Every structure is written in C-alpha cells, then in structure tokens.
Amino acid sequence: MSFWNDPINFLADWLNGVLTGWGLPAGWATVLVYLVGITVLVVFAMVLDIGLVWVERKVVARFQDRLGPNRLGPFGLIQPFADIIKMVIKEDITPAGADKVLYNIAPVLSAASVIMLWAILPLAANIYGVDLNVGLLYVVAMGALGTLAVIMAGWASNNKYALLGAFRMVANMVAYEIPMVIVLLIPTILAGTMSVIGITEAQRDIWFALLSPLGLIIFMISAIAELGRSPFDLNEAESEIVAGFHIEYTGMKFGWFYAGELLHAFTFGGFAAILFFGGYAGFFGLEKLPAFAWLNLPLVQAFFFILKAMLGYWVIMWVKYSMPRIRIDHMLAFNWKFLVPLSLILLAATAILHKILVVLPTWQYALGMFVANIVIITATIEILRSYGRRQRLAEQRLSPQPVEN
Amino acid sequence: MQNEWLYVGLFLIIGIVVPIVPLLIARFISPRKPNPIKQSTYECGIETVGDTWVQFKAQYYIFALVFLVFDVETVFLFPWALSLNLLPLFAVLEGLLFIGILVVGLVYAWRKGMLEWV
C-alpha cells in the first residue's frame, strides 16, 4: 500500500501509528483520526462550495448574456471571498417577534443537512467517508432534514411571506419525495445493494443511465424539486413572495442558505453521477485493459467523479435558468397525476424484467432494459398526446372559434 | 458496523460545528445597533396587519395525508428490491401486487378529487 494507490488509508494508518506511539488508547486514536479525516473532508466541501459560488455566478451571467464577476482577480475568481467577508461583517438582524431559537437553528441545520450528505459521497474507490449499507435511505433522510430547516426558517421568521414559503415547501417536499424514493429503488434493484459504493462498482461495465434512462429523467426532475430550484422554486418565488423562507435573514445566516443550496445542487449532481453514470468508475470496462490501468488510481477517479458531478450540476443550472416557475396546482398535478404513476409503472417493469433477464449475458440484459424504457417513454408520450387532443377538441366544442370575417 | 455509525455521529458533530463557526465570528465582528424600525417585519414597505401564524389552507393537510400513506409504503419496498435476486418469481409478483395496491390507493384519491388544488 502506497500513497498513490490508497491515499486516505495510507495517511490514516500513519496518523494512527503516530497517535498510538504517543501512548493513546487505540479507541481514542481511532476517534481522533476520524475527526481529522472528517474535518479535512468538510473543509474540502466548503472550499468547493466557495468555488461553486463563482461557477454559479459566471454560468448564470453567460445564460443571461452578461459577463458575471470579472473585477476581483483573474476572471473574478476572488469575488466569492469578498462576498464572504461582506456577509460576515454585515449586521445580523433578528425581526421582533421571531421565534429566536428556531430562527437561529434553521440556517445551521440547512447547511448541516448538506454537509452530512458528504459522509457517504465516494470521491474514489477508497476516498470516501463511510460506506453505509443503507446509503440511499440516508440520502432521503438528509434531504428531509434540509426541508425541515426551510420549514423552521419560514415558521420562525414571523413574516407572512416566509410562512407562505414554508407552506409551499411542505407541499413540494410532500409531493416530490415519492417519485424520488421510488426511483432510488431502481439502482437498488439493478445493483442489488443500497450502498453507494456497491452501486458504483456494479456500473463498471455499463451505466445505469443506459439501463434506465427514464429513471434518470425522473430522478433529475424530483431532485430539482427537492432542491427547491426553478422551475420548482415556489418556496422562494422572488416575484410573488420576495424571497420566501429566508426573507428576514441577513448576513452570514443568509449566506448559509445560499451556500447550502449551491452545495446541495452540486451534491445531487454527484448522486446522479453515482446512481446513473458510474460515479468514480464506469469507464465501460476500459480500466481492465493494461494500457488504461491508470484509470484505477484514486486521484484520477476523484477527478472523473468531480467532472461528472459538475456536469450534473450544470444540467441543474441549465434547467434553472431557462425554465419559468410553474404554478403550485400544476406542480402538484404534475407530480401526483404524472410522475407517481409513471415511476410506479417503471418500477414494476424494471423489477419483473430484471428477474427474467438477469440470467442472460450483460449486453442482452442491457438491451432488454433499454428497450423496455423506450417503450414506456413512447407509450407515455402517446397517452399524453391523445389526452391533449381530446382536451382541445372538448374545448372547441364548448366554445367554437369565431369565424374570421 | 459500530465504527460506521461512530463515523456518522462524529460527522454530525463536525457538520453542525462548521456552520456555527462563521456565525460566531460574525457575532463578534459585525455591528449591532438594533432599533424598532430595523427589526420590524419586512412586507415591502407596508406595515404588517394582524397575527402571522394564522390558520392555513386545509389542502396542504390532505396532500400530507396522501403523502404519508405512500411514503410509509414505499419504505416497505426497499427490502423487497434488495433481495430481488434471491426471491422466487412468486415473491416478486407479490411485490408487484403490493405496488398494485398502492396504485389503487392513488386512483381512489384521484377519483375522490383529493389531488385537485382548490
């Protein structure tokens, strides 16, 4: 074992050796090594977060035909640091009549729920926090914590706009968690495990995005809704309830909501990469060839993982800055009358096909799964089209178009 | 197994401490001059009328009820999905029957008009 093959365990063993050499009991040495490792990982996530502020502002500027931050440092790279200094030295205003305890806990909880996701995020085959065997359920649980933070912030602010934002967040979460959980079952079925490492390793030969493209689409839609980003940003809705749940927050407390949202979006890009694009692995078996053995180096894997996560994050930004906000009744109807039945049908089809096809060679299995997904997508579009046609005809019958001249 | 959850527990502590640190720094270096106007509720310049924590729309409650049924039932599907490779075909079909019961519940709520936002 050398540093290049297994950097984290190499350093951890070395540190453990040093600590036990000083006469520390083995249990306490483990706790200390864990604490050091966690701190390094969280600090890495925070530094990445600062970078994401810059990326987000640059990308939104490009979408809106602007330049974005370009004054501080090369390409405006120092801008996020200036933003942080500004936020820290701003006055922190607590509105009169706010529930002070909940008001102060909410931003911390919002950031913590995102940071907690990094505990199971595998950057490479042996660079990860912990490999839980209930990984996917952990993701769902942490997502619910983030929602709870939004509800707390909206409730505690003693502001009607904030309260409206919190209500809408409840409706939003209550709706889109169902297709999310159902779609998380599909990688579970395909890989036969809930551990994120296991799911990544199962995709070494073929990505789950090819086995279940529809699952990927539903996952991305419900992830965007779970993040509360446009077109599902009803909890913020600048043009109607100003800033929704974080309307009364100033300074660094607002900063944590903002930073938390960006890191959350990136992390969900990462989970899309893990669940459907092979995460750190997934080079279609290329790494088995001797010429491409370097693809197995942890730092190379981490590079590809960050790249895939950035692409997922970019898609989330792309959707955010090109779609208008949808109305709450449309949003709920879209979920309950479209996404939930569709994801249940997809789950049933995936389960039965997996059971039948799993004995076949990989390429036949993959082809069967892919064709089944395409059939479901085509059937869905046809049903929607015929429904739309019937609606249009019914409307015409009720109110015939006036004949022109 | 025990170490995994020890790690998650330590992660929770660090995950809460890291957001608190900048807030504490801000508390020490940021100005603090509260006055009644500054602390008043923001409502686009109009003075707020009445209590904020009023009764809310019952529709949210109905959607929450539908959600509760679905969420609890989908959690039961996780063990089934995990052991799909070990189960005989009959047990797989039984899982599908369970999904069918879920769909019946959804159709019932739909027909009852519970999914309309009024």
Q: What is the ipTM of this complex?
A: 0.85
A200 Cβ contact partners less than 8 Å away, ≥ 6 residues apart: A122, A274, A278, A279, A280, A281, A282
* A55: Cβ contacts below 8 Å, ≥ 6 apart: A310, A313
Contact B34 A130 (CB under 8 A): no
Q: For position A404, what pLDDT does the model report?
A: 62
User: Torsions phi, psi of B84, nearest 5?
Assistant: -60, -35
**What is the reported pLDDT for A382?**
92
* Cβ atoms of A148 and A109 closer than 8 Å: yes
Per-residue pLDDT tens digits for A333-377:
888 888 888 998 898 888 888 888 878 888 888 888 888 898 999
User: What's the pLDDT at A233?
Assistant: 79
Domain ranges within chain A, ordered by starting residue: 1-89, 98-394
Size of interface A-B (CB pairs under 8 A): 206
Going by C-alpha positions, the residue among A28, A34, A27 that lies closest to residue A12 is A34
From the list A35, A185, A358, which residue is nearest B77 (CB)?
A185
Q: What is the pLDDT of residue A159?
A: 82
Note which residues in 5-64 of chain B have CB less than 8 A from chain A.
6-8, 10-12, 14-16, 18-20, 22-23, 25-27, 29-34, 36, 38-44, 48, 52-53, 56-57, 60, 63-64
pLDDT in tens, A53-84: 888 888 889 888 888 888 888 888 888 888 88
Q: What is the pLDDT of residues B7-53, one digit of tens each?
A: 888 888 888 888 898 888 888 888 888 888 777 777 777 777 777 77
Instruction: Please report how the helices A160-191 and A340-357 are oriented relative to each other, as an axis angle in degrees rounded to 10.
Output: 10
Q: Which residues of B touch A178 (CB under 8 A)?
A: 67, 70-71, 74
Nearest to A336, CA basis, from A183, A175, A186: A175
Mean pLDDT taken over chain A = 84
pLDDT of residue A402: 66
- Return the pLDDT at A218: 92
Q: Is A156 within 8 Å of A245 (Cβ atoms)? A: no
Compute how many other C-beta atoms are within 10 angstroms of the C-beta atom of residue A324: 6
Q: Which residue of A has its CA nearest to B6?
A: A31
* Nearest partner of A249 among A135, A393, A149, judged by Cα: A149
Side-chain-side CA neighbours of residue A181 (13 Å)? 24
Distances (CA, A) of A13 to A1, A10, A16, A31, B74: 11, 5, 5, 13, 41
Average pLDDT on A276-298 reads 78
- CB contact B90 to A (< 8 Å): no
